[in-house]
Amino acid sequence: MSVVRDLILQADDQLRYPTGGELRSMVEFLSTGASRMSVVKALTENEKKIVDEAAKQLFSRKPEYVAPGGNAYGQKQRAQCLRDFGWYLRLVTYGVLAGSTEMIQKIGLEGAREMYNSLGVPMPGMVESMRCLKEASLVLLNNDDAALAAPYFDFLIQGMQTPC
């Protein structure tokens, strides 16, 4: 769930105290707390702006998605698409807060392929939508905060690209 929790559980599983290296990892993680909160605050406060920009980017790159017969054609389908953008953005904030991709994996990727495939949503489209979400998000962050957040978006994108 988080770097600190994971390191403690690993040491406990091995019936030992955390090593010096593990303690340094914890200190490093804890020292980035303010930056993590800054990223989460910026993404949370700008969710609508990010989702709208990501949708604009996606639908300009893939206009067939909003054309008749497309997966985001019509008010209901488009609203569901935008809802998913917000949902994935929230998962990224969980990852940033925890310093871990575990929640992204458990909540956002496990079963996502099967769900989207069963709904007829093309996975390449989901991958592209996550790239747009990343771009729309990172542009709002300073360089250090963008570097902190980017790996969580990349994990999500990579996970959607990986075959079942």
| Distance in angstroms (rounded) separating the CA atoms of residues 32 and 41 | 14
Q: Are 74 and 160 in contact (CB under 8 A)?
A: no
Q: Which of 70-79, 126-135, 152-161 has the lowest mean pLDDT?
A: 70-79
pLDDT of residue 163: 61
Q: Are 8 and 18 in contact (CB under 8 A)?
A: yes
Kindly report, residue by residue over 111-133, the tens digit of the pLDDT.
787 788 888 888 898 999 999 99
Number of structural domains, the chain?
2
Q: Are residues 64 and 100 located together in one domain of the fold? A: yes
Residue with tokens 């990172």: 138
Kindly report, residue by residue over 75-111, the tens digit of the pLDDT.
999 999 899 999 999 999 999 999 999 999 998 898 7
Q: What is the CATH number of the domain that holds 67?
A: 1.10.490.20
Pair of tokens at residue 52: 């709208």
Rounded to two decimals, what is the model's pTM? 0.90
Q: Are residues 43 and 81 located together in one domain of the fold? A: yes
**Which three-class secondary structure state does DSSP give residue 149?**
helix
What distance, in Å, lies between the first and last C-alpha atoms of the chain? 23
81 or 15, greater pLDDT: 15
Pair of tokens at residue 120: 């007829």
The number of angstroms, rounded, from the C-alpha of 75 to the middle of its chain's C-alpha atoms is 25
| CB within 8 Å of 101: residues ≥ 6 apart | 95, 152, 155
Which residues span the domain enclosing 1? 1-31
Q: Are residues 20 and 52 located together in one domain of the fold? A: no
Reply yes or no on whether the pLDDT at 164 is more than 60: no
